[in-house]
Amino acid sequence: MNITDRLAADLKDAMRSGDQIKRETIRSLRGAIKNSEIEKGSSLNEEETLKVLQKAAKQRRDSVSLYEEGNRQDLADKEKSELQYIESYLPQQLSPSELKTLISTAIDEVGASSMADMGKVMSNLMPKISGKADGSQVNKIAKSMLMDL
């Protein structure tokens, strides 16, 4: 079952069970997918749909941190709940230790020796981990590893 079919089935379940946050989250995701299809002029494939969901998850993560900085825990909790539902449709994320291993391999492959080689490392690494890790987290770990060289 592809993601759009899962979203449709889960929306029906959320409506039946009365889970308002799940219902609204799925409706929001379906709207984002529909908007992307309109922009593209055709249906999205599975990879493009995943990118829409990843973008939505990133927006939720950013919102959580902003709401927490602004002492709005009620809104941060709502965003966290939505994020959990969104992440259930995304591929399993890599752990920090798995990321460090992949980054180390990328550093060796490009022969990086300083922070000046950050672009080479990231361009080597990102195609391998696309959709499996948050880019900002990868960037932070890669920077710390390159600084230690």
C-alpha distances out from residue 131 to 54, 71, 87, 90, 141, Å: 7, 31, 11, 8, 17
Is residue 7 pLDDT above 90, yes or no? yes
Q: What is the value of pTM for the model shown?
A: 0.76
User: 76-110 as b/e, with b when 16 or more CB fall inside 10 Å?
Assistant: bebbbebbebbbebeeeebeeeebeebbeebbeeb
pLDDT tens sequence across 110-146? 998 889 989 999 999 988 887 788 788 889 999 999 8
Q: Any idea what DSSP says for residue 18?
A: T
In percent, how much of the chain has pLDDT > 90?
Answer: 73
Domains of the chain as residue ranges with CATH: 3-87 (1.10.1510.10), 96-147 (1.10.10.410)
Which tokens sit at 148?
């230690």
